[in-house]
Every structure is written in C-alpha cells, then in structure tokens.
Amino acid sequence: MANALFNVVRAIGLSLIFAMPAFAIDSFQLPEDPATLTRYQVLAEEFRCLVCQNQNLADSNADLANDLKRELVELLESGKSDDQIREFLVARYGDFVLYRPPVNKATAMLWLAPLIGVLGIGLVVVLLWRRGRNEGDVVTAEPVVDEDISNALNELRAAKAEPQDKES
C-alpha cells in the first residue's frame, strides 16, 4: 500500500516537473490587430536582445528580451510610430539595441572591421604565395660541411667505437 502511494506521488511530481516549461510562457499578450501584430513582428526583428547579443528580440527568450517585447507592445498600442519607437529605444539603450546599427563615427569600426579583416587575410595569402613561388626557383645544393666539423665527427665516432672493440 505504501509503495503504491509512493508511486502515485512520484508520478504527480514528475508530471509537474515536465509541465514546468508550459508555465514559462510569456505573460504578455501579442497585439490582436493584424496590422499592429505585423508592425510588432517587424520591429522585434530589428532590435537586438541586450542579453543574448547575437539574437534579435523576436528570437530571444531572455527575461530582459521579454520585458522589451512587453514594452514594444505597450508602445505600439499607445499609438507611437515605428520611428518614435526606434528613437525611444535608441535613446534608452544606445545604437547597440538596433540589430543593424547605422553607419556613423561610433559604429564605423563595426562596419569596417570585416572589410579590413578580409583585406588583411588576402594580403597575407598573396605574400605567402609570392614567397613560396620565389623559394621554388632557388636550386638547392648539397650542404657543405666544414672540414673541422667533419674531422671532429670522425674522432667522436672513432672514440665511441673503441670501447666496443676493447670489450670483445
């Protein structure tokens, strides 16, 4: 009897644990108006999740992203235009909140870094290719061994061979 009761309690506990993700669904309501919902979806893809940094707001499930989504819905429902919403969020979080930040002095390096990287890699490849081509033209000869080094090697070999001759 106690064993059956334990199994029932365990089953209920496991079902609650596996049901937990269902309780984590966002608590805010998406706009019901189709035009507002479309604007929400477009804007949510334009803004970056400030926590994830590599995801847009629409794809992120971070708590801060959910807060920003709620705020976005509130701004849309209050009648703000898309430009007013962008200006508000940029004023609050900076250009970093935009998934595609504008080109200006502050973001110039962000936009130029990939181009500089590709040009740098291209330059290295060309230089290595030229050096490899030039080295291929050089005829290599047998290495020249200095006579003193050769004599010293012969003496070492002879000294090493002598103990073996004495043991036999």
In this predicted structure, what is the pLDDT of residue 81? 92
Under a CB-based contact definition with an 8 Å cutoff, are residues 95 and 108 in contact? no
DSSP state of 56: B
In this predicted structure, what is the pLDDT of residue 49? 87
In this predicted structure, what is the pLDDT of residue 164? 57
From residue 95, give the alpha-carbon distance in Å to each of 10, 90, 115, 122, 140. 51, 5, 21, 31, 59
C-alpha triplet 112, 102, 36: angle, nearest 5°:
140
Q: Is the torsion defined by CA of 55, 59, 62, 65 positive or negative?
A: positive
How far is 165 from 156, CA to CA, in rounded Å?
15
Query: Three-state DSSP class for 109?
Result: helix
Q: What is the 3-state secondary structure (H, E, C) of 22-52?
A: HHCCCCCCCCCCHHHHHHHHHHHHHEECCCC
**pLDDT tens digit at each of 168 positions of the chain:** 677 777 777 777 767 676 655 555 545 677 788 888 899 999 999 888 888 878 888 888 888 888 889 999 999 989 999 999 999 998 998 888 887 878 888 778 878 889 999 999 999 999 988 887 776 555 555 665 677 788 888 888 888 877 655 555
Q: Structure pTM?
A: 0.50
In this predicted structure, what is the pLDDT of residue 166? 54
